[in-house]
Each structure stands twice: as C-alpha cells, then as structure tokens.
A and B are shown apart, each in its own frame.
Chain A
Amino acid sequence: MVDLSVDLGFIRLKNPVIPASGTFGNGEEFRPFFDLDILGALVLKGIFRNQRPGNPPPRIRETAAGLLNSIGLAGPGAAEMQSIIRRLAAMTRAPLIVNICGDDDEEFAELAELFSGMNEVALLELNISCPNVRSGGRCPAQDAVHTARLVRMVKRRARKPLIVKLSPNVPDIGTIARAAEEAGADALSLVNTFLGLAVDLPARRSVFANFFAGLSGPAIKPLALKLVWEACRSVRIPVIGGGGIMNGRDALEYILVGSAAIQIGTVNLIEPGAAVRIIAEIEQEMEMLGIHQLDEIRGRLT
C-alpha cells in the first residue's frame, strides 16, 4: 500500500497532482470526465480585477511535441471569479487555489486580499510570470527586486498561504526563488511557459500579435526539470514543480529532484481525464519501485 499524500506545511494534500492554472478552466468543465475530489488540489485560471478579452487570434501554434500559446489571460474578472469559486466549492472538496494576476503591484495585492476573504479558497498562487501580457514577454518574475517587493506587499494583505509562480525565462532561477522566499512566499511553483517564437515565413513576421508566445508540453520537460532542481536547492520552502508532465513517471521525476507536489498543464487540454490516469500511474510506479511514501525519494537525486 503506497501513501500518495503530500504535506506542504500549511496544507496536506491527498496526492501531489495539481492541475495548473489556465489548463483546467473553471474546474467544472472536467466533471463529465472525473470526480474533482480525486485531485490533490486545483488551480483556477489566472484572474485580474476586471474582465479581459485576451490577445487577438491566432493564439496557438503546435510545435514539435509542444504548444506555443499567446492567450493573454482572457478572463471574466474578479467578481465573476468569486461566483465561479462558490459554484465549484459546492461541487468538490478538492482544495481550490486562486491564481492572481495584476497589471500593477496594487492589483495583485488587492486581489490577494479579496480572495483571502473567501472560505472556499484554500491557497493563493501569485502569477508574476505570464509571458503573454506585456509585449516582449516581460514579467515581474524576471527581476529579483520586483519579485521581492511584490511578494512582500501581497503577503501583508494576503490571509491565505501564498504560492509564487516563477518564470523559466531568467538567467538564474535560484536568485529569483530566494528573493520570493525571503519576501515571505510560503511556496513556489514553476515553471510557467518558456518564451518562444513562431514565424510566418511568407508574411515575414511573427505568428503572434504579441510577438513572443509561451511554450509548454513534453518538449520543455528536460528544461523545466533542471530549473525545478535548481530552485529546490535554493530554498527551504516547498516547491511545486511542473513542465511537460505527461505521465506518472514524469511526475515522480519532479518529486525526485525535490518537488513537494507537481502541476500538470498542457496534458489536461489534450486528455481531459489525464489527472486521473497520472494519479493512478504514480501509485503503480511507486509500487513497482518499492516506494511507500513520496518522502522516500523527494530531493534524493544523486
């Protein structure tokens, strides 16, 4: 009998599998496929104060074993998200994580305060790493000083544990990870998408209106795994790793490099029942490898 549970310090999850923000809709869309209660937790789509239309199409381009997206955080705004959360909480006991965005520091802090006030919300995830909002793909998570200032400000007003989601598009992930930790982050999650470019050769321009786009999917797994390994060695707080996880074996690799739990993203889009399969595969792999608890392998990469 294997034990899949995960203790993040501030919350205990029944298993390490957490669908990532933007790849799991409002959660309820997945109910035809499985009971959401089986999830370790789930992250809702990134939310701003106001409604956002998102970027002009095209917003997606398939790459070799990967996916470039430039959605631009289309969403209904915070008020509508509150009713989505209430509806979802009535459907599942899975811990709900709200992914908070902002065009400026104040917006992040305001939303952290707002969603902290909801009993239905278990945790907050601070999305300082979306590459599709500003032209050129810039985001706060690329700057240690900005990251620290923002996390500190949000922590002052958040009354729920705060996960800070980091960008892979940085020269040294350890510096940013430590900046977030020192500013009071309760946990880190990484990676958000890698900046990529797709060109329209006949037109001689970028496929995307925002020029760069975010790469995800199995193509990024080795790159993401390396960054998660580095982040885990840089901080003491829990790290939620992810990037290109397609199966249970991928998930256990992320635990081995030090992840407390894992996020699954792109796979949810192409296989709605992926979370169920991956949880079952983690259990099978653990049995096969003689692992009883994830603690036995966490961070034990040699």
Chain B
Amino acid sequence: MAPTPILYSGGGKWHNRFMQDEWCPLDEISHPGGAGYCLLKLKSPALARQSKPGQFVMVQAGSGYDPLLRRPLGILKCDDSHFWLYFQILGRGTSELASLKPGDRVRVLGPLGNGFSEYHRQRILLIAGGRGIVPLFFFAQRFAADNELFLIYGARRRQDLNLLEEIAALPIQERILRSEDGSSGEKGMATDGVTDLIDSRKITVTLSCGPEAMLKWLAEGLSVQPTENWVSLEAMMGCGFGICHSCVAEFIDGRYRKVCQDGPVFRLAEVRWST
C-alpha cells in the first residue's frame, strides 16, 4: 500500500504526518546488554528517512493472535535505509521479538508520536534512566552537531547500563555513567547532582526519559531551574496511533492526554505524577 502523508487530528491538534504499516526485513539481531536486552536492525528506507528522535513504532510480536497487541518500541537510531530498535525483554511480546532470526520479516507501524523538537545552538542535558536511553540516543545521533550535548545515563546495575561503546562514539561534550550499586560507572542515581550540572554547564534544555520515580524527582528538582524541560513518557498501548485512548497520562490541568498521539514527548512540568 502506498503510504501518503496526510493531515489528521489528534486531540484537537493537527499534525502533518507520515506513517505506514510495513513488513520490514530483520537484518541483524544482537543482545548488547546480555540476555535481558535486544537490539534489532530492520530495513525500511521510508521509515528510516521519516523518523524523528523521540518517535516510536508498534511492532507485531509473534505470528498468531497471541500475543494480540503490538508492542510500542522507541527508535534507537536510523541511517538511510535502516532503523534500530533496542528494548528490554520483559514479557511474552518482547521475548517473541528477541527470538527472531535475521531474514525474518517483522510488521512495523510507524513512525508514531510527536518526537522531540529540533534545537540549534543549545546546551542540552540528556537524562536517561535504564532503557530510557533509547530516544535520547537517537536525539544525540541526530542533533549533536548543531548543539552542545551532555548526557547522564543511570541504571540499577551494570547489566542495565548498555550501548556504552555506541554512546562513547557519539560526538557529545560530556558523559556521566552511573549505576545504583556502583557496578559500572559512578555509584549513584541518574538524578544526583543534576541541578549543579545545569548550573555549571549553563544548560538551556533538558530532555529526560526513564522510570517514573526518576521523572517525578526531575519534575520537582527542575521546576525552579531556568531550563526548558521535556520528558518522553512510556505507556502501555493498544493501537499506538490515537484510536483506542488506552495510553493516557494525567496532566496538571486535570486532563488526560494520549501518550501515543499527543506525546510521547511532553513538557515535564505539565505531567501529573502519581503519589
């Protein structure tokens, strides 16, 4: 089916957006973080060229009706003809995906969601917790040349702090790696010393993605900072393109917004965190 860009409404907003549902050949599969994580290299020139950092795809797991729903996975990076998906193996769907073989074809709907804004000549701090590295990695890959980027990447243990070689190769100013148990990088949380860093490095924008506890802390900690703060949210999704209203998050104005279509990138201060 020929994909055509169209105008459509999402929660009252109109986006000019390209999306397609395509069987993509799997070129490579690896487990860079050991058994708990999986990296897929999939071929689709259209999807690779259209995807923006912060966008995601819905991926069919398995070939039958069980598991029924596709899985939302963030895009790690793209080149001219391929896109990469990196995910934690958490349940049946992700296990199915992790057992694919090169040459298999995978049904992928995307690119989906709003993605991050583009920036020029900003000093941007990326704050990643665990698998939250995925959209921020793509951002760094795409926008490092035009901005000064700083990264704090924290996880619970060494096994959850992955893609370190690829991160080392990104042209960014400064990388701080942390694990809560001290098994890799500095011992500590991703959020430790964030406000000092913003101050000393004259950060103008922060982008964060990670577990809710981390994001909630950031929402409080960064509220008094002069920075523009954005967060990429994760959610359980039914469709991924705005139809089912399953993935809503709550906002401080008392409204729900669809993570898949209105987000997944939102202003950090506008999200209401559960207590």
Contact = CB atoms under 8 A, between A and B. Distances in A.
B21 A67 contact: no
A28 B244 contact: no
Given A54-B245, A269-B238, A246 B21 contact: no
B9 A266 contact: no
Interface string B41-68: 0000000000000000000100011111
A65 B65 CA distance: 5
Given A23-B244, A218-B65, A266-B68, A69 B249 contact: no
Interface in A41-100: 53-54, 56-60, 62-67, 69, 71, 74, 76, 84, 87
A65 B69 CA distance: 9
Given A60-B244, A67-B69, A273-B1, A28 B8 contact: yes
Given A28-B8, A29-B242, A53-B255, A273 B248 contact: no
Contacts of A26: 9
Given A60-B238, A269-B244, A54 B256 contact: yes
Contacts of A266: 68
Contacts of A276: 1
Interface in A231-277: 246, 266, 268-273, 276
Contacts of A59: 245-248
A269 B243 contact: yes
A276 B9 CA distance: 22
Nearest to A66: B68
Nearest to B109: A272
Contacts of B244: 22-23, 60, 69, 71, 269
Interface string A14-50: 0000000011111011011110000000000000000
A295 to B, nearest CB: 30
B20 interface: yes
Given A67-B238, A270-B70, A29 B246 contact: no
Contacts of B70: 270
Contacts of B69: 62, 67, 269-270
B19 interface: yes
Contacts, number: 104
The interface centre, meaning the residue of A32, A59, A62 with most chain B CB atoms within 10 A of its CB, is A32
Contact of A25 (B1, B65, B242, B248): B242
A74 B258 CA distance: 11
Interface centre among A29, A53, A270, A273 (most CB of B within 10 A): A270
Given A33-B21, A58-B236, A272-B21, A64 B66 contact: yes
Nearest to B239: A269
Interface in B9-46: 9, 12, 17-21
B219 to A, nearest CB: 18
A64 B235 CA distance: 20
B169 interface: no
A271 B9 contact: no
Contact of B8 (A31, A62, A269, A273): A31
A217 interface: yes
Interface residues of B, number: 40
B224 interface: no
Given A23-B243, A270-B239, A65 B66 contact: yes
B248 A270 contact: no
Interface residues on A, range: 35 or more
A76 B13 CA distance: 13
Q: Which of A62, A218, A269, A271 has the most CB of B within 10 A?
A: A269
Contacts of A271: 21
Given A33-B1, A62-B67, A268 B20 contact: no
A71 B239 CA distance: 13
A282 to B, nearest CB: 18
Contacts of B239: 268-270, 272
B244 to A, nearest CB: 5
A29 B243 contact: yes
A272 B243 CA distance: 10
A69 B243 CA distance: 13
Contacts of A246: 65
A218 B68 contact: yes
13 contacts: A29-B243, A31-B6, A32-B5, A33-B1, A53-B256, A57-B235, A59-B246, A65-B65, A66-B68, A67-B238, A87-B9, A268-B239, A270-B60
Interface of A: 22-26, 28-29, 31-34, 53-54, 56-60, 62-67, 69, 71, 74, 76, 84, 87, 217-218, 246, 266, 268-273, 276
> 3 tightest A-B contacts by CB?
A60-B246, A269-B239, A25-B243
Given A62-B69, A269-B243, 19 more contacts: A28-B8, A32-B5, A32-B8, A33-B1, A57-B247, A60-B247, A62-B67, A63-B68, A65-B66, A66-B68, A67-B68, A69-B238, A74-B256, A76-B12, A87-B9, A217-B65, A246-B65, A272-B109, A272-B241
